[in-house]
Amino acid sequence: MSDDIDSLGFRAALSIFGGMVQRQRQASRWTFLDMYEKTGIEIPALSALEQGRAALPEADMERISEFLGLGPDRFTKLLRSERIKAANGAAESSGGQRETVVDIARYREPWQETTSQPKD
């Protein structure tokens, strides 16, 4: 993968993860100070994470994710998913062919038999 695809996938995953952290923190009615006291992660870093501006070290990302009940590997899964999306989008925009989602010919005859008018 190119650096652009990796960067794009990372930014998207960071933005999604930051939103998840923010919603979970707000749903729990915790302030940044509460989160700092509970996790030990500095307030400016928490704020930057929620806004999708900066990532934390991997151990801190796992700690905050697990603390909020999102699962310790939530960011890693989001990152993998977003990088795949970015790679597929880049392949499509560069003229690559899309994969066949469903082989219609395989299903056409049984479909026609079930949807056609009954024979006399």
pLDDT tens readout for residues 71-90:
888 998 998 888 888 888 76
Q: What is the pLDDT of residues 33-75, one digit of tens each?
A: 999 999 999 999 999 999 999 989 989 999 998 888 988 889 9
Please report the domains of the chain, with CATH numbers, ordered by start residue: 3-96 (1.10.260.40)
CA dist., res. 62 & res. 75, Å (int): 8
User: Would you place residue 118 in the very low, low, confident or very high pLDDT band (cuts 50, 70, 90)?
Assistant: low
CB 75 within 8 A of CB 63: no
Residues 38-65 as b or e (16 or more Cβ within 10 Å = b): ebebeeebbebbbebeebbeeebbbbbb
pLDDT at 9: 84
Among residues 69, 99, 70, 106, which one has the least CA distance to residue 84?
A: 99
